[in-house]
């Protein structure tokens, strides 16, 4: 698979993953505030175990077809788009995340499901990652626990840029409080880090007929 193609998709996936991580921490702090309240929040939202994701269902022939169409779209210096569009279903996206070495650091943390015109994201976020971001949190408070969250993602195009936004979210089978979700819904998940520059040559991203379509 082309390095440029992997880079585009990796930044999209990591953008969603990293932004979710930050927003969940910020949101919990806003809603619950204070150590004792945050302790309570961890009891409500943290799991002892990560989400067990299923293995890829793509065979060798399907994997080869996926690599060919991926390379035909992302080809040329600087990631010039040589084909008009690229459509991938959730099995194909998850196959890349689970099997491509480029995604080895997040392959056990994220999966996608596309149903009709709706994309759902499953995230299993180690609380140890939160500890790296917020070293002042008490030792042992987050250690060995996970935030397992499901979110519905809405893609929007303004003609100049493409955005991905949280439409709804549940954590540990509990709907995220409206006060927390309101702090997340207006934020574009694709603006994280270098992602905006990497995706600037993509005119649109849409979910249609069980596929994510890049144009």
Low-confidence residues of the chain: pLDDT under 70: 1-43, 74-83, 130-142, 158-160, 180, 183, 191-201
What one-character DSSP code corresponds to residue 101?
A: G
Q: What is the pTM of this model?
A: 0.76
pLDDT digits over 94-135, tens only? 998 888 877 787 888 889 999 888 889 888 888 777 666 666
pLDDT digits over 2-16, tens only? 555 555 565 566 556
Reduced to 3 states (helix: H, G, I; strand: E, B; else coil), residue 86 is strand
Reduced to 3 states (helix: H, G, I; strand: E, B; else coil), residue 149 is strand
Q: What are phi and psi of 175, to 5 degrees?
A: -65, 135
- How far is it between the farthest Cα atoms of the chain? 55
């Amino acid at each position: 698979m082309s390095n440029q193609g992997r880079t585009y998709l990796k930044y999209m996936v990591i953008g969603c993953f990293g932004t979710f991580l930050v927003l969940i921490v910020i949101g919990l702090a806003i809603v619950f505030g204070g150590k004792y309240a945050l302790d309570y929040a961890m009891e409500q939202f943290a799991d002892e175990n990560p989400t067990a994701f299923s293995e890829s269902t793509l065979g060798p022939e399907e994997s080869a077809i996926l690599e060919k169409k991926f390379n035909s779209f992302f080809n040329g210096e600087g990631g010039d788009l040589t084909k008009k569009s690229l459509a991938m279903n959730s099995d194909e996206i998850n196959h890349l995340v689970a099997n491509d070495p480029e995604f080895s650091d997040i392959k056990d943390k994220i999966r996608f499901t596309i149903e009709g015109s709706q994309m759902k994201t499953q995230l299993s976020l180690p609380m140890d990652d939160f500890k790296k971001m917020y070293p002042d949190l008490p030792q042992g408070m987050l250690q060995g626990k996970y935030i397992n969250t499901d979110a519905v993602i809405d893609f929007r195009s303004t003609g100049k840029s493409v955005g991905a936004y949280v439409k709804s979210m549940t954590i540990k089978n509990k709907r995220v409080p409206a006060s927390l979700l309101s702090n997340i819904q207006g934020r574009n998940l694709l603006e994280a880090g270098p992602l905006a520059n990497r995706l600037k040559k993509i005119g649109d991203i849409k979910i249609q007929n069980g596929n994510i379509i890049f144009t």
